Chain A
């Protein structure tokens, strides 16, 4: 009897530990960061293509999850935009010596930006535009795979308490997305049932407004329910002021990063980034003590370790190559297009991005 009871107890503990079949949210986060870093670190079309394939493989392995289906349309739209950017970039700004063919030229007046469409199309412009598009597409797939496989509600538990309110808001917003999609479908159907066509661009305003309206209404209901369930009690989150500082800090840091990217390095962007990071750090420091309690912490498995190790190695390899100056990690099609070099280490770095596939097959079976 005692043995049986003990065995049952052990089985229960086992069940408690193995509640989630997939990867630890932290591992996914590491993978996402590694993928983004990789895409930003290299401009070699060969490496980027490999990264695209690896990330695409991961996306395909999680695409059929319940969330994957929700985010599917968004991924498709993102990929379409990436593909569209190629002709757009080529047509608006082709330069370089290797002219492939020439198109009729349309010049817009100065007050319209002075853009010139068409003209000579060069191999340099084509390679640059395609490389950029592959990078964008890889980022889209990264985000798609991440969102398809992560439990957003669990992700927020990894956030430091100063940001937990913000993160919870975000996670609830994500919960709303599938509902909004379902609502939009229902509205489209209702329109057809009443004899209005629900296809084509003209139907869009008629669909958008009710969908937004429905989503808003549900959000209010959800806010009400969360309020009634005690959310927003301030004792646990380290105080509103600190929370506010954290959010402001994050915003300032992001602005700095954006300005750095957009206007180039300068005093203000760097100062903003430093100030933002300092604010966030202060917020985190202030809230080290009190934390919302947890029923159970997500467990780390062997696969999580592998994914994280790969996530560290992958951009590390690229960075090493870049520092050593071999393997054409950063590649420029100008002044004249030449075949980029290919280094085996970089290929390994890209293939390491495939590691989540190992887990998603296992996790998919359990969920």
Chain B
């Protein structure tokens, strides 16, 4: 279906080629995952498959790409629209119409299809993508996940033979991301569509993919069989890491596959042991600095409303210094509102909230920024200077925190990008820059809103280490996230919000092991008190 021959490409301003002599073939009906570090050329590679590279971007190009027998050099991307469909990262900046149905028909109307054909295809696509109930909705009322499904639907109405997805879940929360990837997997399964997807969330799709294209960032694209790739690559979902650690063979790619190995271990007394772990061991999950008297964050009966809508309805919460708390719950449960209130961006109707002894219900955000750092969801909006270095210096200067730019650059692995413009960076690099810029100068309270959205495993690992170190130094950390694995890795406590009310507040191991939906891959496999691969691997008994 896709044949790449000797493809090399260099962006106009770049020193070295981002793709260098790539040769590969993708057969019809495969689901291919494109993985690799952020900024390595995943997006560029995908764009070369429908001709956006080189037609839209310019640059030095050699070699050729054939898609369904058509050359991407001789055909413009718009002429290939009926053969290759492409969906981008940001759902909002790829829509053109105002209602779902108009969006779905845009491509077909441009191509001048017959009305009867269009009707039929719209109905089909509405069903295939499961968006029939959205057909008359305005696009600006849709959630990110819904919008992204509409975007895929809009591409499908052109009946392409290849679907390219460029990190389609990077702007979505985990649940929406899972739904989207499930839909994509079904397209591949049911319709036999050839799918090439660049994606960080491997848990959901890895078991359906036949092949992994690894782009390490040196210009090469390495094609590997999936299982082989999972054995060697550092980016792997927890269950794969566990399988690797325990030497399972063939390496399981999903929880279901891993179950065939799990029983043999439970006989070794795994389940029997679950009650014997002491409270002290539990506390290793997160870090807690015990010798602090006053809590860093104290919230009493907090109530926040947006017009008629009550976002928070009497929440009380205390977070001592040196503790990491994971704030979980559905979309709209009030997680973001709580964080925003803690730094003075929202004013409560009732109740009190103090951070580090300051009443944040009346203090100005600008002054609170000295000791409190909030990293908002979308990293893009946070960055507004010309270089990465300036971004970090900006916070130091404006918030009058003390810190060092160079050390911060090192801390987040941004040394090589110090004079790069944030706008030119890849999503992952921008995320790291945003974290570096917002967290520089050792704030004593750190608030993170959905930090791992679209984050690759390595950056996530880096974040976990960083947060743990901050907590050790006495910083209070609150992470609003859907990411169970993240909570399992670093939070001492999990607070579950439900429709603006505090539903559960307890130690991570208790909350996450007694839950149906909020459980980690490893916990789904072993049950008991095991949350992360390290929990299991750490117990010598098992190996």
Please, which residue of chain A has its CB at the minimum distance from the CB of B95? A175
- Interface residue? B78 (CB, 8 A): yes
Residues 220-239 of A contacting B (Cβ, < 8 Å): 221-233, 235-236
With a cutoff of 8 Å between Cβ atoms, the chain B residues found around residue A290 in the complex are: 112
Interface residues of B in 107-122 (CB under 8 A from A): 107-115, 118-119, 122
Chain B binder among A84-92, A185-193, A313-321, A328-336? A185-193
Is A154 a contact of B118 with CB atoms below 8 Å? no
A229 and B90 contact, CB distance less than 8 A: no
Question: Which of the residues A183, A214, A221 comes within 8 Å of B94, measured between beta carbons?
Answer: A221
Answer yes or no: B81 CB below 8 A from chain A CBs.
Answer: yes
Q: Is B141 an interface residue (CB 8 A)?
A: yes
- Size range of the chain A interface in the assembly: 35 or more
Assuming A192-B369, A228-B50, is B381 touching A186 (CB within 8 A)?
Answer: yes
> How does the 8 Å CB contact mask read for B444-469 relative to A, with 1 for contact and 0 for none?
00000000000000000000000000
Interface residues of A in 88-143 (CB under 8 A from B): none
A187's contact among B366, B369, B381, by CB below 8 Å, is which? B381
Residue pair A229, B112 in contact (C-beta under 8 Å): no
User: Which residues of B from 400 to 443 have beta carbons under 8 Å from A?
Assistant: 400, 423, 437-438
- The B contact surface, by secondary structure, is helix
Q: Please give me the residue from chain B that is nearest to A219 by CB atom.
A: B93
- Asked if A192 meets B366 with Cβ closer than 8 Å, knowing A153-B98, A224-B52, the reply is yes
Q: Would you give the shortest CB distance from B475 to chain A, in whole angstroms?
A: 17
The total of interchain contacts (Cβ-Cβ below 8 angstroms) comes to: 175
Docked CA distance A171–B122 (Å): 23
Q: Pick the contact of B56: A152, A171, A224, A367 (CB < 8 A).
A: A224
Cα–Cα, bound, A225→B97 (Å): 13
Contact A367–B380 (Cβ < 8 Å): no
Is the CB–CB distance between A194 and B399 below 8 Å?
yes
Within 8 A of A (CB), among B338-392: 343, 345, 365-367, 369-370, 373-374, 376, 378, 380-384
CB-CB under 8 A from B119, the residues of chain A are 295
Indicate whether A293 sits within 8 Å of B81 (C-beta atoms), given known contacts A151-B99, A193-B365, A194-B399: no
> How far is the CB of A39 from the nearest CB of chain B, in Å?
28
Of the candidates A66, A193, A219, which one forms a contact with B140 in the assembled complex, judged by CB atoms under 8 Å apart? A66
**A229/B369 contact (C-beta < 8 A), A153-B96, A224-B52, A224-B88 known:** no
Q: Contact partner of A190 among B384, B399, B423, CB < 8 A? A: B384
Residue A270 at the chain B interface, CB threshold 8 Å: no
Q: How far is the CA of A342 from the CA of B73 in the complex (A)?
A: 70
B373 to A, closest residue via Cβ: A193
- Quick one: closest B residue to A157, CB to CB? B109
In the complex, which residue of chain A has the Cβ closest to the Cβ of B345? A189
Q: Check B79 against A233 for contact (C-beta < 8 Å).
A: yes
How many chain B residues touch A (CB < 8 A): the figure is 70
Question: With A and B bound together, what is the CA distance between A195 and B366 in angstroms?
Answer: 4
Q: Is the CB of B112 within 8 A of A295?
A: no
Q: Would A295 and B122 count as touching, CB distance under 8 A?
A: yes
Contacts A193-B369, A195-B399 given: A230-B110 contact, CB under 8 Å? yes
CB under 8 Å from chain A, chain B span 83-104? 84-86, 88, 90, 92-99, 101-102
Which residues between 191 and 230 of chain A lie within 8 Å of chain B, taking CB atoms?
A: 191-198, 206, 209-210, 213-214, 217-219, 221-230
Chain B's closest residue to A155 (CB) is B98
Contacts of B78 in A (CB 8 A): 227-233
Asked whether A179 and B399 contact (CB < 8 A) given A194-B369, A295-B115, A295-B118, the answer is no
Do B88 and A153 touch across chains, with their CB atoms under 8 A apart? no
Contacts of A192 in B (CB 8 A): 345, 365-366, 369
Residues of B contacting A222 with CB < 8 Å? 93-94, 96
| CA–CA, A79 and B475, complex, Å | 50
Interface: B70 (CB within 8 A): no
Complex Cα–Cα for A9 and B175 (A)? 35
A292 touches B110 (CB 8 A): yes
Tell me which of B95, B97, B155, B384 has the highest count of chain A C-beta atoms within 10 A of its own C-beta: B384
Q: Is there an interface contact between A236 and B88, defined as CB atoms closer than 8 Å?
A: no
B218 smallest CB distance to A (angstroms): 26
**B109 contacts across to A, CB distance below 8 A:** 292-295
Is B485 interfacial (CB-CB < 8 Å)?
no
Least CB distance, B485 to chain A, in whole angstroms = 27
Q: Considering the chains assembled together, what is the distance between the CA atoms of A214 and B365 in angstroms?
A: 23
Return the chain B residue nearest A293 by Cβ: B112
Task: List 18 interface pairs A-B (beta carbons < 8 Å), by A numbering.
Answer: A153-B99, A153-B102, A186-B378, A186-B381, A190-B382, A193-B343, A194-B395, A218-B90, A219-B93, A226-B96, A228-B77, A228-B86, A229-B106, A229-B154, A231-B96, A293-B109, A294-B115, A295-B105
Which residue numbers of A lie inside 8 Å of B, CB to CB? 19, 66, 151-154, 168, 171-172, 175, 178-179, 183, 186-187, 189-198, 206, 209-210, 213-214, 217-219, 221-233, 235-236, 290, 292-296, 367
Apart from A153-B102, A228-B85, A229-B154, list 19 A-B contacts with CB within 8 A. Answer: A154-B102, A178-B140, A191-B398, A193-B438, A194-B394, A206-B384, A221-B93, A224-B56, A225-B86, A225-B94, A225-B96, A227-B52, A227-B78, A229-B78, A229-B81, A230-B79, A230-B111, A233-B110, A233-B111
Sort A-B residue pairs by CB-CB distance and give the 9 closest, nearest first. Answer: A230-B81, A195-B399, A186-B381, A210-B384, A225-B94, A195-B398, A195-B369, A218-B93, A221-B93
